[in-house]
Copies of this chain bind each other. A is one copy, B any other.
Amino acid sequence: MEDVARVAGVSHQTVSRVLNNHPNVSSKTRERVEKAITELGYRRNTAARSLVTRRSQTIGVLGSEMAQYGPSHTLLGVQQAAREAGYFVSVAGLREVTPETIRDAMAHFMDQGVDGVVVTVPHPGTFDVLKDITAQVPLVAVGSIGDEHLAGATVDQRQGARLAVEHLLELGHQRIGHLSGPSDWIDAAARIEGWRDALTEAGIEPVTLIEGDWSAECGYREGLKIAADRSLSALFVANDQMALGVLRAFNELGVRVPEDISVVGFDDQPESAYFIPPLTTVAQDFEELGQRCIGLLLDRLESGTTGTPATVEPRLVVRSTTAPASN
C-alpha cells in the first residue's frame, strides 16, 4: 500500500480511502490512486484488513447431505450471491448430524471469524445446539429449523404437499397414501402435515402413512409392498428419488402408472421428467432459496435490520404419473 501511495504521490491513508470509497477524496486524486493500483497490480491484504475491522468478509455455510439435489443447489445460490456481494464462502459439510459434529463445525467457523453463518441442516435438534451460539454470530437457517428467530428463507413445504394432494383429489382419488421422509426431518414433517391437511379438508381421513428415508432403495422396498397390497389409488411421495424406486417396484410387479395408481413426487429434479413414466411432482427453487438467505444475512450484517424471512412458493408440475381415478 505504501508503494501505491508513493507512485500516486499521496499518503497510504488516501489510498485506503480510495479503496473504501470514502466520500472526501477529490476525483483527480482518486484517479491517480486508481491508476497506481492497477499499474502495480496491488491487492489489499485481507488479513490486515480484518485484523483492524474485526470482520472477515466471510460467511460460513453449515450443511448436511451437501451432495443431495436440494442442499447442493442451495449452496450454489448462497455462494453466488455471497460472492457477488464481495463475501467469501466457507463450507463445512456434516458427514453425520450429531450435536457434537454441529458444535465442531461451528467452532471451526468461530476460529475462522466468520461474519455470519447459513445453516442448511434440516433436522430439528439442530436448533437446540445452535441457540447458545446465536449470540456470538448472526445465524440464518435455510428452511425452518424449529425457531423463527433463526428463520431465513423457506420453501412452503406444507403448501407444496397440499398442491400435490389437491391435484390428486381433483382427479377423483380417495385412497391417497403418503410415503414420507424420516419424520425427524423438518421438511418431511411439513409435507406430512400438508398431506394430512388436504385430505382432512376434503373430508377424507388420512390413514396410509409410510415413513421412508428419502432413498430410491427405500422407495423400491415400500413400493413393492404397496403394489402387493393394492389398496391405494394414489401415492404422494416425499421426494423424487423415492418416487423413482416406487416406479421401479410398480413396474416390476405389473402395477401400471398412472392407470392402476397415480404417483406424485417432490423436488422436480431435472431427471424426473425422464422417469418411466415422466413424474408429476412439486418444483422448488433451491438456488433462489440460497440467494434469499444471503440477502437476509447481509441485511442483518450491514444495516443491522432483521428482515422478514423470505418464502419461496413451490409449484406443481403435472406430467404423466397422475390420471383420473378409475373406480
Contacts of A69 in B (CB 8 A): 67
Partner of A274, one of B46, B66, B248: B248
Q: How far is the CA of A47 from the CA of B91 in the complex (A)?
A: 18
Q: 0/1 per residue, A282-296, Cβ < 8 Å to B?
A: 000000000000000
Asked if A66 meets B75 with Cβ closer than 8 Å, knowing A51-B51, A216-B270, A274-B216, the reply is yes
Task: Please tell me if the beta carbons of A216 and B271 are within 8 angstroms of each other in the complex.
Answer: yes
Any B CB within 8 A of the CB of A111: yes
Any B CB within 8 A of the CB of A251: yes
Asked if A274 meets B111 with Cβ closer than 8 Å, knowing A72-B72, A88-B90, the reply is no
Q: 0/1 per residue, A83-95, Cβ < 8 Å to B?
A: 1000011111101
Contacts of A248 in B (CB 8 A): 274-276, 278
Chain A's interface size range is 35 or more
Any B CB within 8 A of the CB of A79: yes
Partner of A47, one of B43, B56, B215: B56
Task: Please tell me if the beta carbons of A83 and B89 are within 8 angstroms of each other in the complex.
Answer: no
Task: Please tell me if the beta carbons of A251 and B276 are within 8 angstroms of each other in the complex.
Answer: yes
- Which chain A residues (203-223) contact chain B, with CB distance < 8 Å? 215-217, 219-220
Give residues in A with beta carbon < 8 Å to B.
43-48, 50-51, 56, 58, 66-67, 69, 72-73, 75-76, 79-80, 83, 88-93, 95, 105, 108, 110-113, 215-217, 219-220, 241, 244-245, 247-248, 251, 270-271, 273-276, 278
Look across to chain B and name the residue whose beta carbon is closest to the beta carbon of A94: B80
Partner of A95, one of B80, B89, B220, B270: B80
Task: Please tell me if the beta carbons of A66 and B72 are within 8 angstroms of each other in the complex.
Answer: yes
Instruction: Give the distance to chain B from A291, nearest Cβ to Cβ, in Å.
Output: 12
Asked if A66 meets B76 with Cβ closer than 8 Å, knowing A248-B275, A276-B276, the reply is yes
Asked if A83 meets B108 with Cβ closer than 8 Å, knowing A93-B76, A271-B244, the reply is yes
Task: Please tell me if the beta carbons of A113 and B217 are within 8 angstroms of each other in the complex.
Answer: no
Q: How often does this chain occur in the complex, in copies?
A: 2
A67-B69, A79-B93 are known contacts; what are 16 more A-B pairs with Cβ within 8 Å? A46-B112, A46-B113, A47-B113, A51-B51, A66-B76, A66-B79, A72-B72, A76-B93, A88-B90, A88-B112, A89-B90, A215-B270, A217-B270, A220-B274, A241-B270, A251-B276
List 10 interface pairs A-B (beta carbons < 8 Å), by A numbering: A58-B90, A66-B72, A66-B75, A67-B76, A76-B93, A79-B92, A83-B108, A90-B90, A90-B91, A220-B274
Instruction: Give the distance to chain B from A39, nearest Cβ to Cβ, in Å.
Output: 17
Task: Please tell me if the beta carbons of A46 and B111 are within 8 angstroms of each other in the complex.
Answer: yes
Instruction: Give the distance to chain B from A317, nearest Cβ to Cβ, in Å.
Output: 15
Contacts of A50 in B (CB 8 A): 47
Q: How far is the CA of A105 from the CA of B275 in the complex (A)?
A: 36
Look across to chain B and name the residue whose beta carbon is closest to the beta carbon of A107: B43
Instruction: Give the distance to chain B from A123, nearest Cβ to Cβ, in Å.
Output: 18
Most buried by B among A51, A217, A219: A51
